[in-house]
């Protein structure tokens, strides 16, 4: 059976900065780089944040709430981005954080719904998402295995679920040495469902290791400009870097794909030159009994292998061999 293909999500997040045209340009980057889908974050601030904090007897504005509101796309903008994405032949989805976001993705007939790590313990929201009957991709950053188990149990209580768990370390960026990639094996062994990687590192090393461990989903942040002002630009990949990342993902996938034959044609050609065989060390006449000094074990590969040398010692020639001629069983007898 061929190994499952890796689905690579280009995570555009909120790097559109509230401009539909920028969102569409991010879609182009995802499509041209060879990603399998593009994903945004549809955030309605009132569904995720307090607008104000009560401090020392007074209400203080939540700056993050205001920044999120200033960088929003309207629902109509999202509809246009969705249509644009479909026209590019690329599936569209998003991380969502409230019922309104779920409803919009359901309207778009999204191929999957992404639940961010912050909502892994938001059981009511997980159940609402699971009730839609769509594939759920749930990130597991900041979570213990016990917390992941509780989330999985809640999701499956809603009925049969198409669920992917994304291993994630919620550090932005995350050093490769702190990626805890062994947890991929823990997730697979604990739940027996597909596992992916939400990759916040700044190279393709972690993703190559993850693919070797059998992940089938990858999520990577993209941006048009890492120096832009915003929440996710600084650790996202710009177009050229992301295109190179996609190539590394595909190369890693190909390297880990089982081959029908262990020795491939190109390797067989090398073997012919590199392996040794048994050759006559001198002119040999018929009827001679061979000793170790009568043959050489040298390159290139030939009829008799080096591991057959012990059988050749003591054999008799039933025809002559010229010096440096390869020995063959047809010319020998026990």
Which ranges of 177-281 does DSSP label H, i.e. alpha helix? 182-191, 205-212, 239-256, 265-274
pLDDT at 109: 97
Low-confidence residues of the chain: pLDDT under 70 = 1-4
pLDDT of the residue at 259? 83
Q: Which residue intervals of the chain bear CATH 3.20.20.70?
A: 7-256
Q: Is 69 helix (H, G, I), strand (E, B) or coil?
A: helix
Mean pLDDT over each residue of the chain, to the nearest integer:
96
CATH match of 265-333 with 3.40.640.10: no
pLDDT at 4: 59
Quote the pLDDT of residue 2.
45
**Superfamily name with CATH number, domain 7-256:** Aldolase class I (3.20.20.70)
pTM of the model as a whole:
0.88
Q: What is the DSSP string of 296-309?
A: EEESS--SS-GGGH
Using DSSP, state whether 59 is helix, strand or coil. Answer: strand
Task: Read off the tokens for 38.
Answer: 């593009």
List, by residue range, all CATH 3.90.1210.10 domains of the chain: 265-333
Question: How would you classify residue 277: left for phi > 0, otherwise alpha for psi between -120 and 50, otherwise beta?
Answer: beta
Q: What was the pLDDT predicted at 266?
A: 87
């Amino acid at each position: 059976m061929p190994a499952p293909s890796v689905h690579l999500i280009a995570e555009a997040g909120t790097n559109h900065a509230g401009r539909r045209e920028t969102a569409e340009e991010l879609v182009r980057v995802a499509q041209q780089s060879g990603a399998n889908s593009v994903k945004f974050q549809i955030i309605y601030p009132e569904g995720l944040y307090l607008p104000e904090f009560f401090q020392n007897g007074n209400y203080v504005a939540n700056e993050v709430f205001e920044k999120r509101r200033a960088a929003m796309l309207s629902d109509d903008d999202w509809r246009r981005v969705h249509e644009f994405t479909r026209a590019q032949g690329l599936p569209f989805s998003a991380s969502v954080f409230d019922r309104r976001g779920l409803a919009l993705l359901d309207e778009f007939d999204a191929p999957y719904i992404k639940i961010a790590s912050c909502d892994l313990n938001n059981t009511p929201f997980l159940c609402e998402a699971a009730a839609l009957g769509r594939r759920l991709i749930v990130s597991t950053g900041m979570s213990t295995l016990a917390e992941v188990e509780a989330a999985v149990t809640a999701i499956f209580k809603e009925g049969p679920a198409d669920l992917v768990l994304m291993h994630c370390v919620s550090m932005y960026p995350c050093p490769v040495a702190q990626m805890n990639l062994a947890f991929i094996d823990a997730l697979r062994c604990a739940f027996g469902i597909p596992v992916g990687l939400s990759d916040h590192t700044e190279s393709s090393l972690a993703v190559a290791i993850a693919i070797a461990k059998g992940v089938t989903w990858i999520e990577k942040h993209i941006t048009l400009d890492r120096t832009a002002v915003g929440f996710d630009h600084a650790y996202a990949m710009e177009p050229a870097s992301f295109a190179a990342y996609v190539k590394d993902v595909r190369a890693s996938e190909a390297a880990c794909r089982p081959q029908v034959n262990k020795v491939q044609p190109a390797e067989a050609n090398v073997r012919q030159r590199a392996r040794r065989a048994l050759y006559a060390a001198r002119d040999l006449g018929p009827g001679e009994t061979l000793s170790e000094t009568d043959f050489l074990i040298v390159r290139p590969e030939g009829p008799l292998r080096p591991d057959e040398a012990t059988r050749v010692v003591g054999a008799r020639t039933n025809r002559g061999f010229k010096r440096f001629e390869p020995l063959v069983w047809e010319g020998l007898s026990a």
